[in-house]
Amino acid sequence: MASTDEIIEAYGEWQSRSNANDRLRKMLRGWDRVVIVETTDTHERLTITVVDQTLTDIVVGAPEMVDLVVTGTSEDFCDMFWGDLNPSEKYISGEIVIHGAQADVMRLDAMSMVAFLDQ
Amino acid sequence: MHVPEQLRDAVVIGAGLAGLRAAVDLERAGCDVLVLEARDRIGGRAWSGVAEDGSTIDFGGQWLGPGQTRALALAEATGMEVFPTWVAGANVELREGERLEYSGLIPTADPDASIEVVTAMLDLDLLGLDVPVGAPWEHEDAALLDAETMATWLDRNLASPVSRGIVEVALQAVFGVNSDELSVLFVLAYLHGGGGLTNLTRTTGGAQERRMDAGAGALAAHLAKKLHGRIELDAPVDRIEWDATGVTVHVVGRSVPVTARRAVLALSPILAERIALDPEVPQRHALAAGMTMGRVRKVHARYARPFWRERGLSGQLISTNGSISSTFDNSPSDGTSGALVGFIAGRDYDATADLTDDARRNLVLDELACAFGPEARLATEYHEVDWPAEEWTGGGPVAVMQPGVLTRVGDALRRPIGPVHLAGTETALEWCGYLEGALESGERAAAEVVASLALTKGSEEG
């Protein structure tokens, strides 16, 4: 089990890698979204916002209006953000679940493949 | 003048999954139904046999995946085991004489190419979402999209030959043809109905996720059992006379035709063209002429054990050179013996069609040995199913559309011809080309027939 602080620290690594990744930023063009990370074991909700092709800092808590909700264990989120775990494999195995519009889910799935390939 | 048999409520032509599903639904609705099948067996493209060790070999469609609710429910109803396709271990890519290992969906040896592939597949999947599956011709850019082949779309969207090769293999695997034989609009509609190219090419989480221990043929057998012998085999139909009141169906070699108030034609549109409709329907000729049946040879190599697993390999292969374009681990669920299934499709099918059986077998086993090790040459059993040579299917896995067909005559795909209703996986809205699509189409055609018979009855009772 990972603490909220550990998730936030790991996300910081993911955020700086992603924001420095031109190919990933290209995929984010025109895709401003509010994404909630929801942990199934620690019951934490954290918010990531994508604005102007940039991932913002992760924030504890969730607004009412969201585009995507990504659910998984705190450990998996930590490993995923550190780059130790392929998020796409966790998604297709059903261990990470994404709720949202089909197009947004497809894009997040593809983005996670690119982010993992590029690290 | 032939004296017809009794007038039935419905006759179903084709005892594949679509026809059997339609017939069972019709019978459940209280209809007197007869199924006519040209072959000496049922199942169509859902066809299974038995290997020497007693395990099942699927000669045609074989996988189930998430979202295929009808096929999964039917498999459950048969009581057979549905188990995950083996995926543990590294996948192999053969490219220009090089052997590379990778994990995940896309070969990763060339990250730039891999990212280009992911991006192109996402673009196709997102474009597909905007195409109405039931009426692709209503898309605002339908004419443009239907004027282009996938080959030119790939030329415009993929810079690297490596990424181009990978997507070409994906299209070959899904459609059994190459990109220059496919309309972009057709592909987008197909992808929309199947959850996207990413979904269709995935194993876990996608269309190749699960297998059936008794095989797809058991799905057909389960449905056939419910029809209590109302299936006539070796009964190829060559002519259907139709008018508003019903059909007269002529079976080759029989002097007495079958008459019914409705018919369900549960065949691919290309195969259906072999049946003369009287009166003719010119749109159906145009539809068949603009479609191409996939060309796939399905290859099974069986082994004493799944030796590749001991080497940390999954049995999955993507090859952009050679004859086989993709393979999967097809061993029985208990892993007591090993099996690899592979596909020779599209231009690779054409290039190897004239080889002798022995030469092609050696070529295939050599390619498997390159990918998985020299033991692959020591197959204990080897089977090929040449789907284009199957007279009563004419190819596989699915009939596809060339440019210009959907926008010109696409609406003829499902629109009933008077009392003749149309089924077959090619007519499915979702999972076209899959076992699920066949079941969906049969269900829809049966519902159409039941509704139209009820209307007729209602007006007769007045």
Q: Could you read off the pLDDT of B215-232 as tens digits, one per residue?
A: 999 999 999 999 998 999
Q: CB-based contact (8 Å) between B115 and chain A?
A: yes
Q: Which of B6-10, B51-55, B65-69 has the lowest mean pLDDT?
A: B51-55
User: Residue A116 — pLDDT band, cuts 50, 70, 90?
Assistant: confident
Does the beta-carbon distance from A110 to B121 stay under 8 Å?
yes
Q: CB-based contact (8 Å) between B451 and chain A?
A: no
d(CA A47, CA B438): 43
Report how many domains make up chain A: 1
Whether the predicted pLDDT of A117 surpasses 80: no
Task: For chain B, give the mean pLDDT.
Answer: 95
Q: Could you read off the pLDDT of B428-452 as tens digits, one per residue?
A: 999 999 999 999 999 999 999 999 9
Asked if B385 and B297 touch (Cβ cutoff 8 Å), the reply is yes
**Type of residue found at A82:** W
Strand-pair partners of B33: B10
Say if residue B4 is preceded by a cis peptide, omega within 30 of 0: no
Predicted pLDDT at B262:
98
Q: Which is more confidently placed, B229 or B187?
A: B187
Query: Of B201, B122, B200, B128, which Cα lies nearest the Cα of A105?
Result: B122
Minimal C-alpha gap between B448 and chain A (Å): 30
How does strand A97-100 pair with strand A68-72? antiparallel
Query: Of B154, B369, B409, which Cα lies nearest the Cα of B284?
Result: B409
User: Residue B89 — pLDDT band, cuts 50, 70, 90?
Assistant: very high
Query: Of B423, B458, B367, B403, which Cα lies nearest the Cα of B44?
Result: B423
Does the beta-carbon distance from B104 to A88 stay under 8 Å?
yes
d(CA B245, CA B265): 17
Predicted pLDDT at B242:
98
**Mean pLDDT over residues B357-369, rounded?**
98
Chain B residues whose CB is inside 8 A of the A116 CB are: 104
Minimal C-alpha gap between B175 and chain A (Å): 21
User: Residue B1 — pLDDT band, cuts 50, 70, 90?
Assistant: very low
User: Residue A119 — pLDDT band, cuts 50, 70, 90?
Assistant: low
Whether the predicted pLDDT of B141 surpasses 50: yes
Q: Is B229 helix (H, G, I), strand (E, B) or coil?
A: coil
Residue A51 domain boundaries: 4-117
Q: Could you read off the pLDDT of B107-129 as tens digits, one per residue?
A: 888 888 998 999 999 999 999 99
CA distances from A60 to A1, A32, A43 (A): 17, 19, 12
Locate B384 and state its tokens. Answer: 């090929």
**Mean pLDDT over residues B334-338, rounded?**
94
Query: Of B63, B55, B89, which Cα lies nearest the Cα of B338?
Result: B55
Chain B residue at shortest CA distance from A104: B126
Q: Could you read off the pLDDT of A27-80 as tens digits, one per residue?
A: 899 999 999 999 999 999 999 999 999 999 999 999 999 999 999 999 999 999
Does the beta-carbon distance from B122 to A86 stay under 8 Å?
no
Does the beta-carbon distance from B126 to A117 stay under 8 Å?
no
**Mean pLDDT over residues B387-404, rounded?**
97
Q: Could you read off the pLDDT of B166-179 as tens digits, one per residue?
A: 999 999 999 999 99
CATH classification at residue A31: 3.30.1050.10
B456: buried, middle or exposed (CB in 10 Å: 19+, 13-18, 0-12)?
Answer: middle
Predicted pLDDT at A69:
97
Minimal C-alpha gap between A105 and chain B (Å): 10
Locate B380 and state its tokens. Answer: 């204990």
Query: DSSP state, B68?
Result: -
Minimal C-alpha gap between A60 and chain B (Å): 30
How does strand B82-84 pair with strand B90-95? unpaired
E strand or H helix at B243 = strand B237-243
